[in-house]
């Protein structure tokens, strides 16, 4: 029984470090502290199995575990849990306009003018067109629509 208690006390620091790192992840989310906290918990388990491990060996094993667990997260877990966006153009207003037909509000002269999209006016590039002509948006370059 005393042997188990001494093993538990030797691994106690790793358990505390694990809890601190996971709690820090809750305060400042970024996913890496969680995985490093899990590495500290695994290190606590290793210390239960190998209680006489020196400080340098513990540090090296912890560093390797941290890198390995973060790599596994980045390579396998993260891609499997990424959100699949059912509306990929939601916050890309310009990209949503591609294919839309709009009216020229300021004549396109020398390749530049303005078109009316809904209740707003956008800069446009394309062939010369008169005011009122209907054009189609074919691409977006920043806040300028390319029309034909």
pLDDT, average across residues 4-9: 66
Residue 86 lies in a domain: no
Q: Is residue 76 located within the same domain as residue 101?
A: no
Q: Is residue 108 located within the same domain as residue 75?
A: no
Residue 50 lies in a domain: yes
Residue 42: give the domain boundaries: 2-81
Provide the phi-psi class of 99: left if phi over 0, else alpha when psi is between -120 and 50, else beta. Answer: left
What pLDDT band is residue 29 in, cutting at 50, 70 and 90? confident
Which one of 4-18, 46-60, 73-87 scores highest in mean pLDDT? 46-60
pLDDT, average across residues 73-101: 77
Residue 88 lies in a domain: no
Q: Is residue 64 located within the same domain as residue 14?
A: yes
The pLDDT of residue 77 is: 85
Residue 118 Cα distances to 66, 102, 103, 115, angstroms: 52, 8, 10, 10
Residue 105 lies in a domain: yes
Distance CA 23, CA 17 (A): 10
30-51 pLDDT per residue, tens: 778 999 999 999 999 999 888 8
Q: Is residue 60 located within the same domain as residue 103?
A: no
Distance CA 128, CA 134 (A): 12
Of 36, 52, 81, the position where a domain reaches its end is 81
Residue 45 lies in a domain: yes
Distance CA 126, CA 135 (A): 9
Of 81, 102, 124, the position where a domain reaches its end is 81
Of 57, 81, 105, the position where a domain reaches its end is 81
Residue 74 lies in a domain: yes
Instruction: Give the predicted TM-score (pTM) of the model.
Output: 0.54
CATH classification at residue 114: 2.40.50.140
Beta bridge partners of 121: 116
Residue 97 lies in a domain: yes
Q: Is residue 77 located within the same domain as residue 107?
A: no
Number of folded domains that form the chain: 2
């Amino acid at each position: 029984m005393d042997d188990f208690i001494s093993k538990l006390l030797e691994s106690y620091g790793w358990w505390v470090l694990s809890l601190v790192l996971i709690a820090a992840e809750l305060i400042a989310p970024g996913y890496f502290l969680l995985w490093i906290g899990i590495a500290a918990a695994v290190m606590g388990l290793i210390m239960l199995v190998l209680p006489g491990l020196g400080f340098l060996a513990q540090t090296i094993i912890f560093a390797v575990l941290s890198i390995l667990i973060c790599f596994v997260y980045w390579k396998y877990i993260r891609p499997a849990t990424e959100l699949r966006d059912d509306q990929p153009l939601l916050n890309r207003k310009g990209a949503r306009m591609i294919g839309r037909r709009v009216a020229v509000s300021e004549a396109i002269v020398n390749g530049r003018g303005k078109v009316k999209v809904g209740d707003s006016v956008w800069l446009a590039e394309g062939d010369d067109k008169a005011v009122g002509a209907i054009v189609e948006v074919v691409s977006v370059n920043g806040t300028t629509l390319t029309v034909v």
